[in-house]
Copies of this chain bind each other. A is one copy, B any other.
Amino acid sequence: MAKATIKDVARVAEVSVKTVSRVLNDEPNVRPVLQDKVHAAVKALDFKRNPLARGLRGQQSFIITLLYSNPNPGYILELQNGALSQCIEQGYNLQIHPCDHNSADLIKSVESITQYSTQDGFILTHPLCDNKELIALLDEKNIPFARISPFVREHDSPYVMSNDEEAAFEMTKYLISLGHTKIGFIKGHPDFGATHKRYKGYQRALENMGLTLDEDYVKQGMFTFETGESCARQLLNQESRPTAIFASNDYMAAAILKVAAQMKINIPADLSVVGYDDAPVSQQIWPSITTVKQPINQMANTVVKKLIKRIKKQPFEEFDTEFDCELIIRNSTSPCS
């Protein structure tokens, strides 16, 4: 049985193909009687419109491309899943495009995919969403896009973000509530907007709770295990070492566990450690790491909704922009002894 076409539906419903098309596209000016006939025929034939033909005629592809450059597989996969489910729901396809945000070829690589296939819109994850060249390219080609967790927000494209500052604030307050006063902090990669928001939340919590920020307790990492390790060594080799360390992501938190093990520092008895992102490793390590979980799936879902509105040139203000994170208390934290 060959796949049914609009013509088949038209024949069965005894109307013209254009009428079928009208019904399928929710266009006005079709009598309910005919609408019912068409719907019945569509159901009877199990008819599905051919996206290729629709795209060709309508100058659109129903393809949304997810651009990412992020070393965290768990995060990416969750993002993909969230975006994908919403795309499917709305009849779009999700094209994935991993790239390297440090590469000089980044722009070229994106440009080439816009040439070899057509896409209705892009989703940019951080740090790509703060890349001016990239945004200029998309603006120039007039391709709609939406952003996830941008740092710079001066652009009229839709975006979503997690409330990282608030989460970091809460996490720091939690550590303080456990009695910690000497709280170290390992910053993330400066290219990421999240880095600054998390640090700000930490700062604000200290201030808010009447503690002073000690520069010696703040180290600059790059979100990798290796940088986390060296920062942890610096923090823990000081004379007056911190009793708690807040790492800007879980990889760096895991590295603290390594350094602590080598230095025979007991976690959480002698040192509390917290991370960020709820990466898989935070559960696969002992002690499991107290961390912050972003509602990635939901954010991805929403950003797709906004992007599709944007593509259709409809307002997208009805959807949420800021999403709250969740503190996940595990075994790497305990009251200060």
Contacts and interface: CB of A to CB of B under 8 A. Distances in A.
Given A284-B251, A285-B284, A52 B61 contact: yes
A179 interface: no
A30 interface: no
Interface string A46-58: 1010111101100
A300 interface: no
Contacts of A51: 116-118
Contact of A284 (B93, B96, B118, B254): B254
A257 B280 contact: no
A192 interface: no
A77 B262 CA distance: 32
Residue of A52, A80, A93, A97 with highest tally of chain B CB at under 10 A: A52
A262 B280 contact: no
A46 B96 CA distance: 24
A190 interface: no
B52 A118 contact: yes
Question: What is the oligomeric copy number?
Answer: 2
A91 interface: yes
Given A52-B61, A285-B258, A286-B262, A80 B95 contact: no
B117 A96 contact: no
A64 to B, nearest CB: 12
A84 B258 CA distance: 35
A53 B91 CA distance: 19
A73 B262 CA distance: 29
A32 interface: no
A305 B94 CA distance: 22
A255 interface: yes
A162 B113 CA distance: 31
A51 B81 CA distance: 25
Given A281-B285, A283-B225, A52 B55 contact: yes
Nearest to A109: B88
B84 A96 contact: yes
A53 B56 contact: yes
A81 B93 CA distance: 18
Interface string A64-92: 00000000011011001100100010010
Contacts of A98: 77, 80-81, 84
B46 A115 contact: yes
A73 B77 CA distance: 7
26 contacts: A46-B115, A50-B118, A52-B56, A52-B61, A53-B56, A56-B56, A63-B93, A73-B74, A73-B76, A73-B77, A76-B77, A77-B98, A80-B96, A81-B98, A84-B97, A91-B116, A94-B95, A94-B96, A95-B95, A225-B283, A254-B284, A255-B284, A258-B285, A258-B286, A262-B286, A281-B284
Given A73-B280, A94-B95, A261-B286, 11 more contacts: A46-B115, A48-B115, A50-B118, A51-B118, A53-B56, A73-B74, A84-B96, A91-B116, A96-B96, A254-B284, A257-B286
**A-B pairs, 9 with minimum CB distance:** A258-B286, A73-B73, A254-B284, A52-B56, A73-B77, A52-B55, A281-B284, A73-B74, A48-B115
